Structure 1
Amino acid sequence: MERLRAASWEGVISIDELTAQGVPERTAYRRTQEDGPWQLMAPATFLLSSGEPTYRQWEIAALVYAGEGAMLTGLGGARHHGIRSGDDPTTVHVLIHDPRRVLSTPKIVIERTKRLPKPIKRGGLAVAPVVRCLTDWSRRQKDLTAISAVLAEAVREWKTTPADLLQELDHGCRKGSAAPRRVLAAVDEGVWSAAEYELREFWHQWADLPEIEWNVKLYDEDGRFLAIADGFVKDLGFVLQVDSVEHHFATPDQVQETLTYHRRLRAAGLQVLSVRPAQRRDDPDGLHTDVLDALATAALLPAPRVRYEPASA
């Protein structure tokens, strides 16, 4: 058994390797039957134990099953590039070269492509470049908020740019590209999170709301940094801020930090409105009224004593 484990890849092994190690094919499959010591992870791909496979073992099984030239992509692949947002994947998404014919399984998604990129080694596994991982994943998604969380993180953390993602969408399959294109339009405007994306969508629903910029750096008259405004209407000195502790009990320190933040901006002549994401979902009409009231108040105030620039500058 030790010899088989040494020949395996972290416990994963192909039928070809098993037979090369002297295990008859019939014996290998018999050991995967009920109460057997092994299990079949994919056609001709075995795990030399009966315990629950780890996600990494599923990734290895997918690469072994898909064969030469295969590489991880999608959100699972993006995890290897440090992307943390989004629900953890329950399947493994793999790229193979188009002429090959390998079928998907319930746990392994096989995608054939004529544009097979050069893989990058991550933890000993072949992984597609981050741009390809993200676009391969986002083309298969319909939830714009979920897409925005992942793509905004990738851009915010300087792992890629909206231009690079759009270029990949242009060169790849057009099917499913409408949703990520819509999200990237928001990310390109400075949206950094799913909550900000939802707020931007809300803002654009109302024709009577003025032009707004996202994630703007604010400074006082002497050039001292004040804050980054989630949303900023520069003509009125109006700041729209997303309440980031909506789903948690705010600690005393968080409450004090929020009060200090608002006091600092108001001292500079800015009107501030905090918005909970639930307001957009549960009471959009009420939120619209609150925004209009805050904008009207901002219009009555003297010109704010601030300088500003895009947060990406």
Structure 2
Amino acid sequence: MNHNTPLPPASPRPLRHLSHDSRHRVLTAAQLRSHGVSPAETADQCRPGGPWQQLLPGVYVLHPGPPTSEERLHAVLLYAAREVTPSNGVPAQPDADGPHRPTYQEAMITGLAALTLHGFTSAPPLPSLEQIDILVPRLRRLRSTGCARVVRTASLPDPELVTGLPVAPVPRALADAVAGLTDAGAVRRLLSEAVRGWHCEPASVVRELNNAKLLSRPHVVDAVDSLLAEGRAIAEDRLYRMVIEYGLPDPVWNVDLRLPGGPHLGGLDAYWPEQAVAVELDTRAPRQGHRQDDDALWSEYARKREHLERLGITVVYITPKKLRDAMEQQAAVIRTALMASGDRDPAAYVVVLPR
């Protein structure tokens, strides 16, 4: 044999190699074919009492026992993921020869399974879920079957990688989970944990529930009301901690302002009378069927701010998300406003009352 002699085609690996490799015990029909396993051989391996099993259409578990939770998750993703076929004609799926780091196109875990992966203690453990929700684009031609329940969306969110798996962000996963729940207690516990566990802000949850048209369900509305109240309490606590941790002067907390003998100017979460600087938490959240109320609330915010600033009072609006993700930056904004007070004309005299 010289250098110009063509090499013989590579022999497929023996089937026992696939079965014994714990990294690759869930494969698609296309991946098996890339190993030289014909459809007839695959069918023979999956015969009753055989060493393999077909878990979902075109997806095989290469052992006879019950699949693990991890195997079910990978199987659902393999079933729903879009195959990208490069110019060589080989589907671009996880390579059974390489590291087990699949790239799943246009598919991600959502619903209760996603919340469990995000660490929610109020979500059921994975083995107890009969079906795993999988989020795909609306136009994908897939059907729910076996342990895979297809959830469609007009616009896929950017997935978050959790233990190497693409998982829907918490607000979207919550909406998909709540869509299938009728237990008011279970809905309330999930929404509460989302905020208490600092997974996301109430406004982002309400936005997704609104988009999913779930805010017409009474048990969801009740849970959202509790969520918003709890979210405001948590934001107030963060604001209090920010003042302490970053050494800001002590304000007066939760006050109403009035002109002497005049009208009510509005409530504030924190106020520094000597510097005439105010902080208000923006905890608005969109509500289905309440667009006019939302617009009216925003107009009220704007009117109050304009009125206070005409009186020489600087108003700083802070969202709960900014308090959570950029507390130091928000403290710097307030500190700058306090330091700049000496360069401004004195503010009008106002009466400060407890709220």
Deviations 1:67-95 (A, max 9, x none): 13110000111112111113333311100
Structure 2 unaligned segments of length 5 or more: list them. 1-14, 83-105, 238-322, 324-355
Rounded to whole Å, the distance in 1 between the matches of 2:25 and 2:71 is 8
Aligned to 1:259: none
Structure 2 match to 1:149: 189
Q: Do the aligned partners of 2:136 and 2:156 also contact (CA within 8 Å) in 1?
A: yes
RMSD over equivalenced CA pairs, Å:
2.8
Look up the match of 1:266: none
Report the Cα distance in structure 1 between the residues aligned to 2:80 and 2:155, rounded to whole angstroms.
17
1:94–1:108 CA contact under 8 A, matched in 2: yes
2:109 and 2:124 mapped to 1: Cα distance? 17
Contact map agreement 2:110 2:176 (CA 8 A) in 1: yes
Distance in 1, Cα, partners of 2:213 & 2:21 = 42
| 1:13-92 correspondence runs (5 A) | 13-68=27-82, 69-88=106-125, 89-92=129-132
What is the aligned partner in structure 2 of residue 104 from structure 1?
Answer: 144
TM-score (norm 2): 0.51
More deviation, 102-111/84-93? 84-93
Q: Does 1:162 align with 2:202?
A: yes
Q: Using the TM superposition, give the Cα deviation of residue 135 of structure 1 relative to its aligned residue in structure 2, in angstroms.
A: 1.0
- CA distance 1:174–1:115, change in 2 (3 Å): same
Letter in 2 for 1:60: H
Q: Is the 8 A contact 1:11 1:47 kept in 2?
A: yes
CA shift in 2, pair 1:159/1:76, >3 Å: same
- CA deviations 1:155-191 (Å, max 9, x no partner) are 1111112211101122x23157624332111122239
Do the aligned residues in 1 keep the contact of 2:131 with 2:147 (CA within 8 Å)? yes
Structure 1 gap segments, 5+ residues each: 192-212, 218-311
Aligned equivalent of 2:225: 185
When Rg is computed on C-alpha atoms for both structures, the one with the higher figure is: 2
Give yes or no for contact 1:5–1:48 (8 Å, CA) kept in 2: yes
Q: Deviations over 1:223-258 (max 9, x none)?
A: xxxxxxxxxxxxxxxxxxxxxxxxxxxxxxxxxxxx
Q: Partner amino acid for 2:175?
A: T
Count of residue pairs the alignment pairs up: 197
Return the offset for 1:112: 1.6
Q: 2:212 aligns with which of 173, 179, 183?
A: 173
Give the residue type in structure 1 aligned to 2:121: R
Q: Distance in 2 between matches of 1:33 and 1:146?
A: 41
Correspondence for 2:336: none
1:127 has 2:178 as partner: no
